[in-house]
Structure 1
Amino acid sequence: MIPMGDTLVRYDNPISISKNNLETNKKIEKKSQKRSSNSPLFDSLVTSPSPSPTSGGRNNVPDDSSIQKTQDILNAMLPPREWIANEQQWIQHVSSTPATRSDVVNIQELLDKKLQQRQARETGICPVRRELYSQCFDELIRQVTINCAERGLLLLRVRDEIRLTLDAYQVLYESSVAFGMRKCLQSEQGKVDMIKQIEDLTREKAELERQVAEEKARCEQTERRYQEQKHLEEKKHSDEVQFLKKINQQLKVQLEGIIAPKKQN
């Protein structure tokens, strides 16, 4: 027989199950699950006063019905464990034996030992630490339920509410992580697009600067041609003026040469 994984919850010794016993156990388990499915949790199990090791029936000894009732409540709260080993079906019910003060001290020492052995983190999120403390809380619920079923059921509600809250926080955390990843991917994609846009604008800027340089060179070349042409035109005009002045001077001399003899006569 190979037992299941170790736990802080106290269980009875495992027993082998035959086919007949297996069918009977399944019926009992279905009955317990049906009781636990009602929201006035286990109301049918706590209609009568809960068994107590100090205030039971006659001579402070609980009767068989009280013991069975306590066992039913415990099985509904902490379902039996089942496994197969060496082709044999085994089942292990949670213990209904009341806990003593030394048992509580041992649980505390065992919890500290397991936290150290499994290297649980002291702070922050740690699944190992959460699992061990959950087992410890289940064991405390078991111990309290044996003495007072109503108190145990109230602790069970507290445990379930804590688990729901933690699950909600976990879903919120996973959702926030997924949202952050989406935003990160979007930012990375936006960064790639922005880099591509910058490269395109840089190439466009370089092309425009090249065109501006070409236009400046063309403008300077046109200005040089204009200045050269202007200089040639001015020189040509100056030569024509000088030529005309020279001709005018020659004509003036000739005219004076013709007029002078006539005056003398």
Structure 2
Amino acid sequence: MLPPADSLLQYDNPVLVSRKSPLVHGLSVKPTPGSSAPTPSKPAVEISKERTEDILHAILPPRVWSEGNKLWVQSVSSTPETSVVRLQEQLDLKLKQRQARETGICPIRRELYSQCFDELIRQQTISCTERGLLLLRVRNEIRMFMTAYQTLYESSMAFGIRRVLQSEIGKADMERKKQALEKDNKDLEQKIKDTWAKCEAIKIKEMERREAEDRKHAEEIEYLKRTNEQLKFQLGSFTQKT
């Protein structure tokens, strides 16, 4: 495991510990003197400082990594920081070096701002424990909301992908239906054309039949007229003879 990358959160120098050495409350293991003589009572200032360090290490756990058969532990620094401008300059420099986006979703920018916020918590915890704990509550609330929004975003993305897939499937079905309807439409149009052609053929045939019947009727009338004329002539001739 590689050592952690450089962070805006200030750490003490890493301490080499044995793999079998316990880590009490996540703190780095410090060498203890071999003498079992009782330790003298500590001043109140030193006790307050140790309490602050315990709270600080509980808020910001140490980093642990291994190199070969060695185990390293690096705790956050308990040294106060007097310049916030320096932290701001480091933040701007790292944003520029790591080419973080200025707008939109950017994991790099989020990581750096999270480190910056942790460093502010560290500084405030050293100067005022209560203020540091309050900032810790604010940080945890922000992270909870970020996690909730990330979950919502991922679920919305999954829902959107499902809707897109459903729309693609529905689009394919609609495309098949469209092609089937277009084919049916062409078939119906062809049937209409065939029907019109049959109607025109029947119309022409009927006209020809009617014209033929009219000619036949006219010929019959002409024949009857001639027959009538002949009968009249024969009747007149017969009358004159008698």
Q: TM (normalized to structure 2)? A: 0.86
Q: State percent identity of aligned pairs.
A: 51
Residue 243 of structure 1 is matched in structure 2 by 223
Task: Label 1:139 to 1:239 Cα distance change in 2 as closer, same or farther (>3 A).
Answer: same
* Cα distance in 2, alignment partners of residues 210 and 78 from structure 1: 81
Residue 145 of structure 2 is matched in structure 1 by 165
Query: Are 2:25 and 2:58, in contact at CA under 8 Å, matched by a contact in 1?
Result: no
Task: Label 1:2 to 1:209 Cα distance change in 2 as closer, same or farther (>3 A).
Answer: closer
* Cα distance in 2, alignment partners of residues 16 and 210 from structure 1: 90
Deviations 1:157-209 (A, max 9, x none): 00111111122222222223223323333333333322222222211111111
Residue 59 of structure 2 is matched in structure 1 by 77
* Cα distance in 1, alignment partners of residues 158 and 72 from structure 2: 42
Deviations 1:100-154 (A, max 9, x none): 23xx332222212111111112222221111111111111111111122111100
Matched AA of 1:238: A
Aligned length: 228
Aligned counterpart in structure 1 of residue 69 of structure 2, from 87, 90, 111: 87
* Cα distance in 2, alignment partners of residues 189 and 171 from structure 1: 27
* Cα distance in 2, alignment partners of residues 4 and 232 from structure 1: 110
Aligned counterpart in structure 2 of residue 105 of structure 1, from 85, 89, 103: 85
Give the Å deviation of 1:19.
4.2
* Cα distance in 1, alignment partners of residues 25 and 156 from structure 2: 43
- Gapped regions of structure 2 (runs ≥ 5): 28-41
Query: Are 2:81 and 2:123, in contact at CA under 8 Å, matched by a contact in 1?
Result: yes
Residue 67 of structure 1 is matched in structure 2 by 49
Matched AA of 2:89: E
Aligned counterpart in structure 2 of residue 220 of structure 1, from 179, 182, 200: 200
Give the Å deviation of 1:86.
3.0
Residue 136 of structure 1 is matched in structure 2 by 116
* Cα distance in 1, alignment partners of residues 230 and 178 from structure 2: 77
Aligned counterpart in structure 2 of residue 28 of structure 1, from 25, 28, 42: 25
Query: Are 2:12 and 2:74, in contact at CA under 8 Å, matched by a contact in 1?
Result: yes
* Cα distance in 2, alignment partners of residues 119 and 208 from structure 1: 65
Give the Å deviation of 1:2.
6.6
* Cα distance in 1, alignment partners of residues 146 and 2 from structure 2: 33
* Cα distance in 2, alignment partners of residues 121 and 236 from structure 1: 100
Matched AA of 2:191: Q
Aligned counterpart in structure 1 of residue 132 of structure 2, from 144, 147, 152: 152
Partner SS state of residue 229, structure 2: helix
Residue 12 of structure 2 is matched in structure 1 by 12
Task: Label 1:125 to 1:209 Cα distance change in 2 as closer, same or farther (>3 A).
Answer: same
Aligned counterpart in structure 1 of residue 99 of structure 2, from 105, 119, 122: 119
Query: Are 2:19 and 2:70, in contact at CA under 8 Å, matched by a contact in 1?
Result: no
- Gapped regions of structure 1 (runs ≥ 5): 31-56
Give the Å deviation of 1:240.
1.6
* Cα distance in 2, alignment partners of residues 184 and 253 from structure 1: 101
* Cα distance in 2, alignment partners of residues 232 and 113 from structure 1: 107
Q: TM (normalized to structure 1)? A: 0.79
Matched AA of 1:205: N
